[in-house]
A = this chain, B = another copy of it.
Amino acid sequence: MFTGRVIGSIDSTINHPWYDAKKMLVVEKTDAAGKPSGDYVVAVDTVDAGVGDPVLVLDEGTGARQIVGSTTAPVRSVIVGIIDEVHCPSRAS
């Protein structure tokens, strides 16, 4: 799992039917220092996240399918939480 920030969303009309009603968001990963890393994933939203929100992402198929409630969903990455705060003592001192 990793932390990131929602930076956008994706529109796709020609795709697999499972994605039809899903909100697909672009999440830029943050690095160990909490800064944008330049890396990203496209993740299915499950917590009503929006652009700018700091989020927790699970990037594993079987766990992701549990989150979306389907053992056959073609999904790997899901947003599982909106982050209130990351406590990193060494960053603050």
Binding site for B on A (CB under 8 A): 1-3, 7-16, 19, 24, 26, 28, 31-33, 36-43, 46-48, 51, 56, 58-67, 72-78, 80-91
B-chain residues with CB within 8 Å of residue A77 when the two chains form the complex: 1
Nearest opposing residue in chain B for A55, CB measure:
B12
Question: In the complex, what's the smallest C-beta–C-beta distance from A40 to chain B, in angstroms?
Answer: 4
B8 in contact with A89 (CB, 8 Å): yes
**A10 CB contacts on chain B under 8 angstroms:** 3, 56, 83, 85-87
The answer to whether B8 touches A56 (Cβ under 8 A) is no
In angstroms, Cα B60 to Cα A78, docked, is 13
CA distance in complex: A32, B38 (Å): 5
Chain B residues near A91 (CB, 8 Å)?
7-8
Partner of A15, one of B47, B72, B89: B47
- Indicate if the CB atoms of B74 and A15 lie closer than 8 Å: no
